[in-house]
Structure 1
Amino acid sequence: MNSVHLNGRYDLHTHTQASDGMNTPAENVRLAKQKGLAGLAITDHDTVSGIPEAMEAGKQTGLDVIPGVEISTRASEKDVHILGYFLQYEDEQLCSRLEQLRTVRETRNERILEKLNELGIAISMSEVISGLGRELGPDDSVGRPHIADVLVRKGVVADLREAFDKYLAEGAAAYVSLPRVGPVEAIAWIKEAGGAAVIAHPGLYGDDDLVRHIIKEGQPSGIEVYHSDHGPGEEMRYSGMAREYGLLMTGGSDYHGVRQGQVFHGDLGSRSVTADVLEQLQARAGRP
């Protein structure tokens, strides 16, 4: 870590156009600089393709950029996300595994569109991709927010929240979940790639028994206590769980950019941690 940043703060959960964020990796870095952060992590869904651009932007701006990923997993009939930090993002085995997950995501997206069409809402994948306003990179990932954008533009729903509540969230009319890697295995993948694994936004799962099971079986380095969708109750509960199991308490905004005039999930820098947390996370990276 750069010594000039010892008193700075870090947002450890941000997304870019490499997955379902609105900004380029470099734009996220510049925004972090504007907001007075010392650095940020790039944690796109099932891809590390945005990291090199962000790292270069970090060198130009003097910000620390932490290479990361957010792996989509499935357990107890719930979508569970595992964050990885300080991993060797060019590791061939990791990249191959992430490619397999993106293939599952592509199939899921097609099934979602099939369900929407069955509901009388005509949307094609070419329409979703054209709505990106840019060329889709070979390692980039299309997500539900991209489909939500089209639903808003077509006037099917008023905003992104309604798109998820009515059609895309778990249990909604067009929701689809396919078999995926389990969270314990994803934690192992991150460790094998030299990284430190963290359970993302545990409060969103509504199942603390599952969270405890993942902790006991997977032995992650940390748990995301501070998140844009966590209130004071969740922060208190998961900070207690972190102390109980000797986990680091991490945090991040889960920033995806501005869609349809709304910041999704939270504004960049709205949740952050101090440099000492980051240093401890780095120290735990790659441990067996």
Structure 2
Amino acid sequence: MSAADTSRAGASWGRIDLHAHSTESDGTESPRELVLQAHAAGLGTVAITDHDTTAGWADAAAAAREVGMGLVPGVEFSAQQQWASVHVLGYLLDPAAPAFLAERERIRVERVERAQRMVERIGADYPLTWAIVQDHAAPGATIGRPHIADALVSLGIVADRSAAFDGILHWRGGYYQPHRAPAPTEAVRIIRAAGGVPVIAHPAARGQATMDERVIAQLLDAGLMGLEVEHRDNPPEAQEWLRGQARLHGLITTGSSDWHGRGKPNVFGEHTTTAEALDAIVELGTGAEPILPA
């Protein structure tokens, strides 16, 4: 970080939420609306972390400057350990880094092909078509399981996204299709190579690969910098264990809502990150600049 940038650390960030999604991935609100709703919820700083894309950064940044909010540009990288998913948040990375660009495009293509395979299988038993699913995604967004869930809700097949993921879209539901994704260690390396700060998202969430000492050791060797500890999907006992691992290994700990707009019940600011943790992220990230609160 240059001398001119040292003022970034120690900024008056206000209340901080470092995990939110827009229509550029599986959220229901535009990047601009994401920022405006974060501001209305009393946050001082928010991160935009769409799945495998940085397409919403510019609109979110413009909205943040308009209302005087802090904004941390980020991404939620899709990774996979054996058959289980692992999501890796990357903050302040360079969106033009070659390795990141190549992997992002490969993941995007694979996600769409996987979604098409699932829709074809579901459509054999329910009145679901690819055209209906496309109607539930914003132009240019990479279609994934949340958009299929929204289509199932619109057809009255399930009550809401949660019911879709607990039933038809569950890996035991009979329609699930696996997809290729990098190992979490590779995702961490790609984020680091792009100047970003890698943080494991909701490490103890149901359905995500189990985090144990062995896995964390592998991630540390790859360059892991943090754990998202305070999150509604991490049980209290798991949060305590994760805090202990963070203390042991000198990792940053974050808290966030994982907001998706109307797509999930998660509420902005239900969990937050400390200013000290964000200062550490800002000092370590070299690939992109945060927007400082006015």
Q: Same fold (TM over 0.5)?
A: yes
Distance 2:209 2:33 in 1: 33
Matching of residue 50 in structure 1 with residue 50 in structure 2 = no
TM-score by length of 1: 0.90
User: Could you tell me which amino acid in structure 2 is paired with residue 145 of structure 1?
Assistant: P
* 1:109 corresponding residue in structure 2: 115
Matching of residue 232 in structure 1 with residue 236 in structure 2 = yes
Task: Report deviation, 1:108.
Answer: 0.9
3-state SS of paired residue (1:177): coil
* 1:21 corresponding residue in structure 2: 27
Summarize the Cα distance change of 1:60–1:92 in structure 2 as closer, same or farther, 3 Å threshold.
farther
Summarize the Cα distance change of 1:169–1:282 in structure 2 as closer, same or farther, 3 Å threshold.
farther
1:99-147, CA deviations, whole angstroms, 9 ceiling, x for partnerless residues?
Answer: 11100101110111122123x1132222111134x5x12xx21121111
* 1:154 corresponding residue in structure 2: 155
Distance 2:27 2:168 in 1: 20
Distance 2:9 2:281 in 1: 16
3-state SS of paired residue (2:227): strand
In the alignment, is the contact (CA less than 8 A) between 2:88 and 2:201 conserved in 1?
yes
Task: Report deviation, 1:23.
Answer: 0.6
CA RMSD of aligned residues (A): 2.0
Task: Report deviation, 1:282.
Answer: 1.8
1:47-88, CA deviations, whole angstroms, 9 ceiling, x for partnerless residues?
Answer: 100111101111111111111000101112211111000112
Matching of residue 207 in structure 1 with residue 210 in structure 2 = yes
Structure having the higher strand fraction is 1
Distance 2:47 2:129 in 1: 33
* 1:246 corresponding residue in structure 2: 250
TM-score by length of 2: 0.88
User: Could you tell me which amino acid in structure 2 is paired with residue 243 of structure 1?
Assistant: R
* 1:268 corresponding residue in structure 2: 268
Distance 1:212 1:3 in 2: 27
Give every structure 1 segment of 4 or more consecutive aligned residues whose post-TM-superposition deviation is greater than 3 Å. Answer: 1-5, 90-93
Distance 1:186 1:69 in 2: 11
**Greater length-normalized contact order (CA 8 Å, ≥ 6 residues apart):** 2
3-state SS of paired residue (1:79): strand
Sequence identity (%): 35
Summarize the Cα distance change of 1:170–1:11 in structure 2 as closer, same or farther, 3 Å threshold.
farther
* 2:71 corresponding residue in structure 1: 65
Distance 1:197 1:59 in 2: 25
